[in-house]
Amino acid sequence: MNQTNTAKIGLFLGPILFLGILFLLQPKDMSPEALAMLAVTTWIAVWWITEAIPIAATSLLPLVLLPTLGVLSMANTATSYSHPMVLLYMGGFMIAMAIEKWNLHKRIALTIIAFIGTNIQRIILGFMVATAFLSMWISNTATSLMMLPIAIAVVTQLSSPENPHERSPNKIGKALMLGIAYSASIGGVATLIGTPTNIILAGVIKEMYQYEITFSQWMLFGLPISIILLAICWVYLVKFAYPFEKDFAIHGGKEEIHAQLRLLGPITVEEKRVAWVFGLVSLSWILRSFVLQDFIPALDDTMIAIAGVLVLFVIPSSDRKTKLLDWKTAERIPWGILLLFGGGLSLAEGFKETGLASWIGNQFVFLDFIAFGLFLLIVITAVNFLTEITSNVATASMLLPILAAVSYAMGVHPYGLMVGATMAASCAFMLPVATPPNAVVFGSGYLTIPDMFKAGLWMNIFSIILITFFTLFILPLLWGIDLNVYPF
């Protein structure tokens, strides 16, 4: 069944299930408001999964359905769409737009690759480190789109003089393309703004438990996972998936990188100024919770992001006629993602206010008999493979409130299941449709679906093991929580 047919079926299935649940279902001990919330969630989930209409458009449904059914007031529903976490991501996007406008991201990438790359394996490592670093701060789609032409230019310059008939550029191309796609996703888990699912998690936790995950707190947990997974990915690609002999020689790779750096010319005034603003914002995010709040108690990560954006709108470029960031550039941010955040957060609010979260939790009392570590592994594995075929943001938006309810039923800390699932949603490596970076590199022509499936399956397994270990043993130490106790 192709995507068009799936969308057509979903278009009618969503409202039909909505009406069926609303008028035919009468679960025991469920309030009318909770039943309405369940019906709304089902409709939205079907449209998100089947993409019956654009995912961002589906995210507007709560604004119509929740007030109409008396689940939430319009004011409470609309508040989710301007949640501080939504504004934090908006600010992060706009700062990223300024970086892209002045080509600072390309200079950073080429500089990292030139510094690391001496042989083919290290050139691939350089591409992966550069991609992961940029993906920590700007869209992984934009990062992979920017890295792709650089990678193609490098591959076309490479040759194997010992065996001119060997299709080494094709082999290098496969490793390089997969490295770019995977490191774009891996880099995103390192920071709170690195991927939308992290922001969804922070927003849902703030909405349901009034607890704020700070930028530095997340980075303390996410960055080590990102670094370790990046190292595993590199070793797997160059030592096992596409191994290169020790005497494998290349010609032209480094020269191409330096040639592209020369094409950029000397660093411009605008690049320096944007780099300063970006650096100060990043440093403020990291230092905010344990240094800056001593001086400004009300300071939060959203305020820092918006302040950085305003500074970019104020500081002029070298010609004095334009600013580092103008509205024409800023308005190009992906507004659809922000609407998706709002839709997901409004669902979380509805789950909490109607008691649906508690009702769902009570249906999972049988999970008391399952070891938490085993159930965590099952959840992480399921989410990891589910996001191969569904939007990771939509998946997180649907599952996080449910996992919060399940945690209540199991008597365990909700952050364990929720953080583990969020991390897993960012680690879909098997299929071109799984993530935008996968689709971008697949379009290069160097990869086939079996290439990506085989390498991606191993990367999925590595990520599942690593995320499970970190969530079980490292998260409690870093965040000072007991995963075996429900504290709320």
User: Mean pLDDT, 10 residues at a time, over the chain (488 residues)?
Assistant: 80 96 90 95 91 92 96 94 92 92 92 85 94 94 90 75 50 94 97 94 93 94 98 96 70 76 92 96 90 90 95 93 94 91 91 89 76 94 91 88 91 96 96 90 90 96 98 96 92
Q: CA angle, 231 as apex, 470 and 170 as ends, to 5°?
A: 135
Instruction: State the Cα–Cα distance between residues 242 and 226, nearest whole angstrom.
Output: 22
Q: Which residues of 406-440 are buried (b: 16+ CB within 10 A; e: fewer)?
A: bbbbbebbbbbbbbbbbbbbbbbbbbbebbbbbeb
CB 208 within 8 A of CB 344: no
- Annotate 139-167 with DSSP letters as a single string: -HHHHHHHHHHHHHHHHHH---TT-TTS-
Return the pLDDT at 320. 83
**SS3 label, residue 248:** coil
Distance CA 476, CA 470 (A): 9
pLDDT (0 to 100) of residue 28: 85
Please tell me the distance from the alpha carbon of residue 409 to that of residue 358, in angstroms, as a whole number: 8
CA–CA separation, 247 vs 251, rounded Å? 13
3-state secondary structure of 209: helix
**Whether the Cβ atoms of residue 98 and residue 324 lie closer than 8 Å to each other:** yes
Radius of gyration of the chain (CA): 23
Query: Distance (Å, rounded) from C-alpha 371 to C-alpha 393?
Result: 28
Are 183 and 132 in contact, with CB atoms under 8 Å apart?
yes
163: its two tokens = 């065996």
Give this prediction's pTM: 0.88
Among 337, 433, 289, which Cα is nearest to 88's?
337
Tell me the torsion sign for CA atoms 407, 410, 411, 417: negative
Answer for the pair 401, 348: CB distance below 8 angstroms, yes or no: yes
H helix or E strand, kind and range, residue 427: none
Q: Pseudo-torsion of CA 401, 15, 24, 346, nearest 10°?
A: 30
Torsions phi, psi for 487 (to 5 deg)? -95, -5
Residues 6+ apart with CB under 8 A from 124: 172, 175, 176, 179, 234, 237, 238
Would you state the pLDDT for residue 164? Answer: 46
Residue in 157, 101, 111 with CA at minimum distance from that of residue 261:
111
Q: Which two tokens stand for residue 271?
A: 């690049």
Q: Which two tokens stand for residue 395?
A: 């998946």
Distance CA(323)–CA(314), nearest Å, equals 6
Measured distance CA(102)–CA(85) in Å, rounded: 26
pLDDT at 167: 46
DSSP-assigned letter for residue 267: P
Please count the other Cβ atoms lying within 10 Å of the Cβ belonging to residue 320.
Answer: 7
**Residues making up the chain, counted from first to last:** 488
**Whole-number Cα distances in Å, 79 to 343, 356, 378:** 11, 20, 34
Please state, in angstroms and rounded to a whole number, the distance separating the CA atoms of residues 114 and 261.
9
**CA 57, CA 65: separation in Å to the nearest integer?**
13
